[in-house]
Structure formats: structure tokens, C-alpha cells
């Protein structure tokens, strides 16, 4: 019996130790799960910060795409309007669009064409007439008196400087 008593006593201590191990296991599992939860929360916070960062990058990329698309649209309109200096016309058009309540590239280009006709080469503004560039060209071929008088009357009636310069050049060449 002594063995039983000793065994019983040791068994009783073992039972307490087993309960302590169970409690320690339960406590350590709680600590493990708590640590895992904290790690997961940290990861979530990190991922949320990354999402905010990526949303910012996406927004700036979208803005860049819109800018490039608008620039292409401005360039198409300016080429169609026969802009002489594309870069200057583009900058002025962008400034005009910036002032508009509802931006419209076609309207901005038309306004620029009306305000600054020297930036555009079209018959409306007299830059690309049939005689453009000929007035300041090389010395004209000598012409007869009849032709000289015709040129003088044409220059006088039209008031076009290029015709006047052509007439004077031909007259000087005789």
C-alpha cells in the first residue's frame, strides 16, 4: 500500500502537473493565436497603406493619359486648322481650354484662329494665297509694258502688298 500511497501521491501530483500542462497549453495557444491576430492586423494595415499608394499612382496615371489624349486632340485640331507654329498654338490653345467652363478643343482652336490669325495658314487670313512667297522671290523675268501696267492696276485695285512688291520688283528689273 505504501507503493500505492506513494504512487497515489505521485499520481496526485502528476494530475496537478497534467492540469498545469493543459492550462499552459491553453495559455500558449491563446498567446499564439493572439500573436497571429496581431501579425494579421499588421499585414492588413500594410496592405491598406499599399492600396492607398496604388490608388494614388492609378489616379496620376489616369491624369497623364487624359493629358496625352487632350494633347493629341489639340494637335489634330491645330493640324486641321493649318497651324504654322504648332507648339505655340498648342500652348495658347491649352491656356484657352483652361479658362473655359466646359472645355472644348474645337471651339478653343476656332477662338485662337480668330484672335491670332498669324498662327494659321489659310486663305481666310491671306497667308496662303495663290501668290504667297512670290513677292520676295528672285528677280522676276522682264515683261512687256502692257503686262507691267496690268500688274500696277492689279496691285492698286487689290491693295495686296505681295502684288505691289511683285510689281515694283518687275519694274525695277526693266
Contact (Cβ atoms closer than 8 angstroms) between residue 141 and residue 111: no
Quick: pLDDT tens for 38-74: 999 999 999 999 999 999 999 999 999 999 999 999 9
Region 23-28 average pLDDT: 73
d(CA 24, CA 36): 18
Q: What angle do CA 86, 90, 94 make, to 5 degrees?
A: 175
H-helix or E-strand containing 58? helix 2-80
d(CA 106, CA 101): 14
Quick: pLDDT tens for 121-162: 864 544 444 444 444 444 444 446 788 888 888 888 887 888
Residues 6+ apart with CB under 8 A from 125: 117, 118
d(CA 155, CA 104): 41
pLDDT at residue 45, rounded to an integer: 96
Locate the domains of the chain by residue range: 129-174
Q: Looking at per-residue confidence, does 7 or 75 come out higher?
A: 75
Amino acid at each position: 500500500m505504501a507503493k500505492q500511497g506513494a504512487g497515489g501521491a505521485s499520481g496526485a501530483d502528476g494530475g496537478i502537473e497534467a492540469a498545469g500542462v493543459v492550462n499552459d497549453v491553453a495559455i500558449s495557444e491563446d498567446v499564439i493565436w493572439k500573436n497571429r491576430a496581431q501579425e494579421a492586423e499588421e499585414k492588413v494595415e500594410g496592405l491598406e497603406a499599399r492600396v492607398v499608394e496604388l490608388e494614388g499612382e492609378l489616379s496620376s496615371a489616369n491624369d497623364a493619359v487624359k493629358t496625352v489624349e487632350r494633347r493629341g486632340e489639340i494637335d489634330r485640331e491645330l493640324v486641321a486648322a493649318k497651324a504654322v507654329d504648332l507648339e505655340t498654338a498648342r500652348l495658347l490653345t491649352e491656356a484657352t481650354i483652361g479658362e473655359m467652363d466646359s472645355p472644348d478643343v474645337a471651339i478653343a482652336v476656332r477662338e485662337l484662329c480668330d484672335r491670332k490669325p498669324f498662327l494659321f495658314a489659310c486663305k481666310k487670313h491671306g497667308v496662303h494665297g495663290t501668290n504667297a512667297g512670290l513677292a520676295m522671290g528672285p528677280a522676276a523675268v522682264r515683261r512687256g509694258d502692257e503686262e507691267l501696267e496690268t500688274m500696277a492696276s492689279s496691285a492698286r485695285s487689290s491693295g495686296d502688298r505681295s502684288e505691289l512688291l511683285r510689281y515694283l520688283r518687275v519694274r525695277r528689273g526693266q
